[in-house]
Structure 1
Amino acid sequence: MEIEILRIIDRESSTVHFHCKAGEAWGVWQGDSEANLGTHHIEIDVPNPPQSFKTHASVIPLVAGDPWNQNSGVTISGKLESLGEDSIACILVDQDIVMVELTPGNEEPRVGTGIECHVTAIHLYPLNL
């Protein structure tokens, strides 16, 4: 996923404010070097299962979180591309796949439907293209 880092929120925790085609949010930079402003190609990792998720007939691809309040979490939504036996969901967000571990719940998501997940944080891993 291509992102643009707009602001370094906290250098010590490597928390950044970024923008991408699917929205604007905050995340924790996981690169070997410090995060810097500008365009980067990254992979999003969700370190913990979502606090909640909902399925919809369709959904707008979205990565959103209030960069001024990191306690608010991040919303990820897109099309459910696959769901493994290990509860790993592959969600298509715009043109990129984000993998999320879903915890068993009342709702069993179906491949091909829209899914919206609310997570406590996302990690951003830079890719060397």
Structure 2
Amino acid sequence: MQIEIVEVLDQERAMVAFNSPVGSAAGVWKGGQGLETGTHHVEFEIPDEVHSWSLVQPTHGAITGGGARGGDFVTVHGQVEGVGEDSVVTLRIGPDVIFVEMEDSVERLNQGDYVTFNSPTVEIYPYQT
């Protein structure tokens, strides 16, 4: 996914504010050196197991909030594409998918369901196109 880093919030912790096709949020840059504002191609990762989630009405995938962008948590909305072994859920967020480890009752999830959850952070991994 292409994002725009609009502000480096904390250089030492690599915390950035970004805009993307699925929303605006803050996250942790995992690209090493060269942390700067501008456009980047990235993948998102939820670093911790999700302990609580809710089924919601169909919606466009979104990642919002976090740090200076709106609170203590990042809120994620997405559509379930699949539920694998070990409670790993494939979640569509806009044009991309992420893999999320979900602890709480994943057997209730079906392909096509829409879920929402909060995470303390989202990690951002840049890649070259």
TM-score (norm 1): 0.91
**In structure 2, distance between residues paired with 1:6 and 1:69:** 11
Stretch of structure 1 that moved more, 51-60 or 41-50: 51-60
Stretch of structure 1 that moved more, 104-113 or 90-99: 104-113
- Please give the per-residue CA displacement for 1:76-102, whole angstroms capped at 9, x wherever unaligned: 111111110111111111100011100
- Please give the per-residue CA displacement for 1:10-61, whole angstroms capped at 9, x wherever unaligned: 0000000000011000000001323210100001111101242111241221
In angstroms, what is the RMSD of aligned CA positions? 1.8
Amino acid at match of 1:44: F
**In structure 1, distance between residues paired with 2:15 and 2:24:** 14
Identity of aligned residues (%): 29
1:93 alignment counterpart:
93
2:116 alignment counterpart:
116
**In structure 2, distance between residues paired with 1:63 and 1:73:** 10
* Aligned length in residues: 129
Contact 1:52–1:119 under 8 Å retained in 2: no
**In structure 2, distance between residues paired with 1:3 and 1:121:** 16
Distance 1:85 1:107, change over 3 A: closer
2:29 is equivalent to residue 29 of structure 1? yes
1:16-95 alignment, distance < 5 Å: 16-68=16-68, 72-95=72-95
Contact 1:44–1:124 under 8 Å retained in 2: yes
1:127 alignment counterpart:
127
TM-score (norm 2): 0.91
2:13 alignment counterpart:
13
Q: Which runs of 4+ in 1 moved over 4 A?
A: none
1:71 positional shift: 5.6
Contact 1:62–1:76 under 8 Å retained in 2: yes
**In structure 2, distance between residues paired with 1:49 and 1:59:** 23
2:105 alignment counterpart:
105
Unaligned runs of 5+ in 1: none
